[in-house]
Amino acid sequence: MATELYLIRHGETDWNRRNLYQGTTDVPLNDAGRAQAQALAERLRGVRFGAAYTSPLRRAADTARAVLGAAEAPLVEVRGLGELCYGLWQGRGQEPGGRCNPGLEWRWRESPWSVRFPGGESLEEVRARAAAAVERIVAAHPGGTVLVSGHGHLNRVLLIHLLGLPRDSFWSIAQPNASCWRLSVDADPGTGVLRAAGEPCPAEAAHV
């Protein structure tokens, strides 16, 4: 049976607003981010979640808590759902005085799958750990409705992995703060590999 996954991104943080490389730095939601999380909760207020999983980072966990509200589903932190680690780049910005390596930054924009950040991760490493986490989640909740709260780059690589999108679509996958995708995920009966169909959540409140 297919599992319904609601894959969300956290609300805004001050580092998002300042366009800083955030990664695994545990930056909390700002006021705008908390308002975005509440607005997302309103959009999903009719969805009955049987389970919920989140990145351990506060911005994702607090967004998930807002969406769950008074729901009885426990929120489980999963390390594999954490954001891409930028390593030495974390806390830097894209203005000239904050850039670590303009050449590597250009390659990150033009060929992101070829980059491994100094002291950090590559997108393939993120894909491998995130895919393993989602495989365990889907196996634990066949036919269930599950909330997964993640991050912009994490969500992009998961959508590419689950929907079979080309890797060069990475930057074209929109991931604004407090965005949401609804995915129907199951395992291929022949190979056991996860496959999915899905689309962005509608702007109006969902009722399931």
Residue given tokens 């929907």 in the structure block = 163
Per-residue pLDDT at 196? 96
Give me the long-range contacts of 98-101 (CB less than 8 A, separation at least 24): 98/20
C-beta of residue 201 within 8 angstroms of C-beta of residue 42: no
83 carries an active-site annotation: yes
Per-residue pLDDT at 204? 58
Residue given tokens 């975005």 in the structure block = 36
Name the active-site residue from 10, 141, 153, 161: 10
Quick one: average pLDDT of 17-33?
A: 97
Per-residue pLDDT at 206? 52
Report all structural domains of the chain as residue ranges with CATH numbers, in order of start: 3-200 (3.40.50.1240)
- Tens digits of per-residue pLDDT, 58-91? 999 999 999 999 888 999 999 999 999 999 999 9
Average pLDDT, the chain: 93
C-beta of residue 40 within 8 angstroms of C-beta of residue 8: yes
206 contacts: CB under 8 Å, gap ≥ 6:
43, 44, 45, 46, 47, 182
- Tens digits of per-residue pLDDT, 115-170? 999 999 999 999 999 999 999 999 999 999 999 999 999 999 999 999 999 999 99
Cα 125 to Cα 79: distance, rounded to the nearest angstrom:
13
Per-residue pLDDT at 197? 95
- Tens digits of per-residue pLDDT, 94-119? 665 455 677 888 999 999 999 999 99
Quick one: average pLDDT of 174-183?
A: 98
Amino acid found at 154? L
Per-residue pLDDT at 109? 94
Name the active-site residue from 4, 12, 83, 121: 83
- Phi, psi of 101, rounded to the nearest 5 degrees: -155, 95
10 carries an active-site annotation: yes
DSSP notation for 106-164: HHHHH-GGG-B-TTS-BHHHHHHHHHHHHHHHHHHSTT-EEEEEE-HHHHHHHHHHHHT
pTM confidence score: 0.94
